[in-house]
Amino acid sequence: MSQQNDENIEATTVDVEEQVETVEEQAAEEVSVEETLISSLTEELAAAKTEAAELKDQMLRIQADAQNVRRRAEGDVEKAHKFGQEKFSRELLSVLDNLERALAASPEDEATKALRDGVEMTLQGFTSTLAKFNVEAIDPQGETFNPEHHQAMAMQENADFPPNTVMAVMQKGYSLHGRLLRPAMVMVSKGAPSIDENA
């Protein structure tokens, strides 16, 4: 009986060892599956984070581009409001010039007084209307010559004026909101002629 018990114990031990091995194998397989699953999920998480970062960066760029386009459009609209009348204003300058020429050419006598007064009032009304729309005259008589706002038609030696000074304005210039519509046509002084001391 003792032998039979030993055999039973031995058989039971073998069964238990087989069961332990089976359980260990199953546990090892489950751990392997879990490790594979964890590894796979970790890779997917890393890929999702990378994609989210790229999409966030792309969204920020799109927002910045949209903001730049909006600012540019607002600037364009502002310029259109400010300078939309530029061509029209430039065309009106010839009318203003003709009114000024008419005044300069008309004699100051009783026969033409009414006509002269009418032209003066028309010129004043025209000038004030242009001023309301920020069209301003550039009349640089006596100022230093500025090539950005003046166009030199002639240079002349003159002891009464320092060199590079506007002596006469042949035609006034005009600006719209500070932007040049037409340069003033001017005569510029060269200064007094130099005296040769050896002569």
Percent over 70 (pLDDT), the chain: 89
Evaluate if residue 13 carries a pLDDT over 50: yes
Q: Would you list the domain boundaries of the chain?
A: 1-83, 86-191
* Token duo for residue 153: 């038609």
| Secondary structure of 123-144 in HEC code, one letter for each residue | HHHHHHHHHHCCEEEECCCCCE
Mean pLDDT of 161-170: 89
Looking at residue 199, its pLDDT comes to: 41
Does residue 42 or residue 15 have the better pLDDT?
42
Mean pLDDT of 147-160: 88
Q: For the structural domain made of 86-191, what CATH number should be given?
A: 2.30.22.10
Asked if 159 and 168 count as a contact pair (C-beta separation under 8 A), the reply is no
**Mutual orientation of helices 86-105 and 113-132 as an angle, nearest 10°?**
160
